[in-house]
């Protein structure tokens, strides 16, 4: 998407107007077209409705096959938003949502026309100091959300652990993010037995991606570490998923994609912060070499794990990711994963589940979720739930031996908590936000979430 600035709206552009009325409409007077959108009856625009409004403008333009759209600054800078947030926030959010709404996953389409719609935006009006920078900032954030979506949306056949690791290197090129990739042999040397167990059924080798950004200066401050689930395809393993459930499972590396995009975006924006992103990547496949239900894995931490279900693989690869994170003496560790279908049962498709024992971190995530648009909602990690993580032959079990259907997301979080010892930690189960839903007004497929939230955390924590 190209965002340009001007003083008048030329006839080549369709002006987007926000009016009280509810029905979207395309009008034409004297050869000048306008796209009229309803901003809600009460007329008070909130952060949430603003995002929807901007996205609707772009999606409506796209469905009307309009290539160039224009906004006046006055139309975009709703006084209530400038008051409640800031002019900077409004312009950043505006640009970011333009960019993510314009996105299509066009890689496999021979006809690229769809990508050209609403690809040019003209912003008209008197700019104040810093306005262009705010719009540029939002554009950058949106672009990296889209990078995350590109990686997620790529089918499993074309996005293996190795390709994912290469994508990290490509994305980081030209930035101050360093990338190191551990191959199968190095992973064995690190004794990441949980990651290796999951990877065993696939002909594709595991990878462990380490991305570092020392924006504050190495040694100057302990880093914030993000750990992203990098399952490039989740068949469920020998506890094979039914046909309907396996369809979207190339998106099971979305946590990995989003932490990658977040760290590179932070570098692009020049944040003066130390950030590390870790992505344990594997393919959960079915073969004669697959790990079995009943196998006992020795994780990198030394803790042994009964594999009671090979489909609860995300928590296994993350266990080794969290253990590795400890090396950095981190200030905060956040893992991001499409971990449980149960999170969808609990929350529907409109918020990721967060779990942490640190109430301050919980409140921060909820606040920054509202501010960034990556909404989250908490679930408890109380000691009462610890009993369900006990192993029979191993120290731990990857699912409860009984009560299997209750509190599925919490069980996942509680399992991970055993590997998050010695540092402040939060778990984001982003399964609910793995794919866009109709009211998101985004292209079908990955949302790229919660990249914007991670960025905010990196910026402010
Ligand atoms: N990747 C899935 C979770 C998932 C399901 C994400 C649907 C997005 C949409 C995960 O690896 C998984 O299979 N979890 C199991 C856990 C169960 C075996 C305890 C699940 O949710 O069924
Ligand atoms: Zn699974
Ligand atoms: Zn999975």
Residue of the CA atom closest to atom 13 of ligand 1: 311
The conformation of residue 439, written as its DSSP 8-state character, comes to: G
- pLDDT over 90, % of the chain: 93
Residue 319: how many other CB atoms lie within 10 Å? 30
Q: What is the pLDDT of residue 380?
A: 98
Residue of the CA atom closest to atom 7 of ligand 1: 341
Question: Which residue intervals of 341-431 are DSSP H helices?
Answer: 342-347, 359-372, 408-417
**Residues, the chain:** 461
**Centroid of chain to Cα 318:** 16
Any atom of ligand 1 within 6 Å of the Cβ of 340: yes
Structure tokens at 242: 């039914």
How remote is the CA of residue 397 from the centroid of ligand 1, in Å? Answer: 16
- Interatomic CA distance for residues 91 and 56, integer angstroms: 17
DSSP SS3 for 278 = strand
Structure tokens at 408: 């599925």
Q: Please identify every residue annotated as catalytic.
A: 241, 315
Tell me if 263 sits within 8 A of 148, measured CB to CB. no
Any atom of ligand 1 within 6 Å of the Cβ of 234: yes
Quick one: which atom of ligand 1 is closest to the CA of 404?
19
How remote is the CA of residue 252 from the centroid of ligand 3, in Å? Answer: 5
Q: What is the pLDDT of residue 403?
A: 62
- Interatomic CA distance for residues 228 and 231, integer angstroms: 9
The reported pTM is 0.98
- Interatomic CA distance for residues 282 and 235, integer angstroms: 12
pLDDT tens column, 33-49? 899 998 877 768 999 99
Any atom of ligand 1 within 6 Å of the Cβ of 211: no
pLDDT tens column, 319-368? 999 999 999 999 999 999 999 999 999 999 999 999 999 999 999 999 99
- Interatomic CA distance for residues 61 and 197, integer angstroms: 48
DSSP SS3 for 234 = strand
Residues with CB under 5 A from ligand 3 (ion): 231, 234, 252, 314
């Amino acid at each position: 998407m190209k965002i340009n600035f001007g003083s008048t709206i030329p006839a080549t552009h369709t002006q987007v107007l926000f009016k009280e009325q509810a029905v979207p409409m395309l009008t034409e007077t004297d050869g000048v077209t306008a796209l009229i959108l309803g901003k809600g009856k009460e007329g008070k625009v909130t952060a949430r409705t603003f995002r929807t409004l901007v996205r609707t403008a772009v999606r409506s333009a796209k469905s009307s096959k309009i290539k160039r759209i224009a906004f006046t600054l006055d139309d975009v800078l709703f006084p209530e938003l400038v008051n409640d947030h800031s002019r900077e926030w409004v312009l950043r959010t505006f640009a970011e949502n333009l960019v993510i709404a314009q996105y299509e996953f066009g890689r496999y389409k021979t006809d690229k026309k769809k990508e050209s719609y609403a690809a040019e935006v003209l912003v008209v009006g008197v700019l104040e100091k810093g306005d262009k920078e705010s719009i540029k900032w939002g554009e950058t954030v949106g672009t990296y959300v889209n990078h995350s979506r590109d990686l997620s949306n790529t089918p499993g056949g074309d996005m293996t652990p190795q390709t994912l690791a290469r994508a990290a290197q490509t994305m980081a090129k030209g930035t101050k993010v360093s990338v190191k990739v551990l191959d199968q042999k190095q992973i064995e040397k690190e004794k990441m037995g949980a990651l290796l167990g999951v990877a065993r059924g696939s002909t594709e080798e595991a990878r462990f991606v380490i991305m570092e950004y020392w924006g504050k200066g190495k040694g100057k401050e302990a880093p914030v570490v993000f750990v992203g689930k990098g399952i490039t395809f989740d068949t469920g393993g020998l506890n094979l998923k039914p046909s309907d459930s396996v369809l979207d499972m190339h998106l099971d590396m979305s946590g990995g994609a989003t932490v990658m995009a977040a760290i590179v975006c932070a570098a692009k924006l020049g944040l003066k912060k130390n950030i590390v992103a870790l992505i344990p990547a594997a393919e959960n496949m079915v073969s004669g070499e697959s790990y079995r239900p009943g196998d006992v894995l020795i994780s990198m931490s030394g803790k042994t794990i009964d594999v009671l279900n090979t489909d609860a693989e995300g928590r296994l690869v993350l266990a080794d990711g969290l253990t590795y994170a400890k090396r950095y003496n981190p200030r905060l560790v956040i893992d991001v994963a499409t971990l449980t279908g149960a999170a969808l049962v609990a929350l529907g498709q409109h918020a990721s589940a967060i779990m942490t024992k640190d109430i301050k971190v919980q409140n921060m995530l909820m606040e920054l979720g509202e501010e960034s648009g990556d909404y989250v909602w908490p679930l408890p990690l109380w000691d009462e739930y610890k009993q369900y993580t006990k192993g029979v032959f191993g120290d731990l079990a990857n699912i409860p031996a009984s009560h299997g259907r209750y509190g599925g997301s919490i069980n996942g979080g509680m399992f991970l908590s055993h590997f998050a010892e010695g540092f402040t930690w939060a778990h984001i189960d982003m399964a609910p936000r793995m794919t866009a839903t109709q009211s998101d007004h985004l292209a079908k497929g990955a949302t790229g979430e919660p990249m914007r939230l991670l960025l905010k955390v990196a910026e402010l924590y």
